[in-house]
Amino acid sequence: MKLSVVIPAQNEEGSVGATVEGLVATLEREDVDYEIVVVDDDSEDSTAAVVGAIGAENPRVRVHRSHYERGFGMAIRAGLDVFQGDAVAIFMADASDDPKDLVRYHRLLEEGWDCAFGSRFMPGARIYDYPRLKYIFNRLANQFIRVLFRHRYNDTTNAFKAYRREVIETVQPLLSKHFNLTVELPLKAIVRGHSYAVVPNSWTNRTSGEAKLAMKEMGSRYLFIVLYVWLESTLSRGDYRVGKPQRRPAGGPPSPS
């Protein structure tokens, strides 16, 4: 199973090189068939050049200049349009995620799960230097999602997850343009009927560059998409679930001739 790794990156010259090189080293050591697509949005620094230089040596690595408007969600959506693997993982450019966790995701997908999710808040997980205020909001948001969707998974808000290609087709059309895409993808995958497995993850705070998640601006957008998916799951009678037989139009299918 070929794994595509989509990395949204904006002004990450201080960490994107190490992130990509770390991934390459681990994926090659573990014999994973992969491609790495770094989606850049008009970075004003050398992000694209750094990745371009790695790509010149390793054809599995490339930069894709986002073909959408700027934004975290739109950059990931651009990556989801162009990836070529059988599955795709979303990975941060700031070296906060661990390539070894990605290898575990790949194994889960190979075992047959549709989605592989991590949790930074379960036994076996490790978090380093998580900003305090962000931690409080994170735990509240994930608890709210758990109650609403009646599931036990406690880290829906982490973007670092992996999906089989079919899942990316099932969750269309995507609506989120910003960080709220991180919850739209897993919640839709779950309510539309895909299977998922959860493993402990580690997460390390960035040591270079700036964190871009502005919680003030994102709160209402997160709430919008969470409620949107919840409304779909409670009121749409399963119309968007995978495997639900489609009703044929009256009169049956059009005749072949």
- Is the CB of 26 or the CB of 205 nearer to Mg ion? 205
Residue 184 near which of Mg ion, ligand GDP, none (CB within 5-8 Å, type-dependent): none
| Residue 250, φ and ψ in degrees, nearest 5 | -55, 140
CB of 206 to Mg ion, least distance (A): 5
- Is the CB of 11 or the CB of 233 nearer to ligand GDP? 11
Neighbouring C-beta atoms of residue 69, cutoff 10 Å: 11
CB of 193 to ligand GDP, least distance (A): 28
CB of 39 to ligand GDP, least distance (A): 5
The three-state secondary structure class of 243 is: coil
The residue with tokens 């900003």 is: 131
Residues that bind Mg ion (CB under 5 A): 94, 96
- Is the CB of 8 or the CB of 85 nearer to ligand GDP? 8
141: tokens are 């948001």
DSSP string, 60-92: TEEEEE-SS-SSHHHHHHHHHHH--SSEEEE--
Residues that bind ligand GDP (CB under 6 A): 8-10, 12, 39-41, 66, 70-72, 75, 92-94, 206, 211-213
Q: Which residues pair with 126 in a beta bridge?
A: 202
The residue with tokens 């560059």 is: 209
Residue 155 near which of Mg ion, ligand GDP, none (CB within 5-8 Å, type-dependent): none
Residue 140 near which of ligand GDP, Mg ion, none (CB within 5-8 Å, type-dependent): none
Yes or no: say if 9 and 87 are a contact pair by the CB < 8 Å rule.
no
- Is the CB of 96 or the CB of 157 nearer to Mg ion? 96
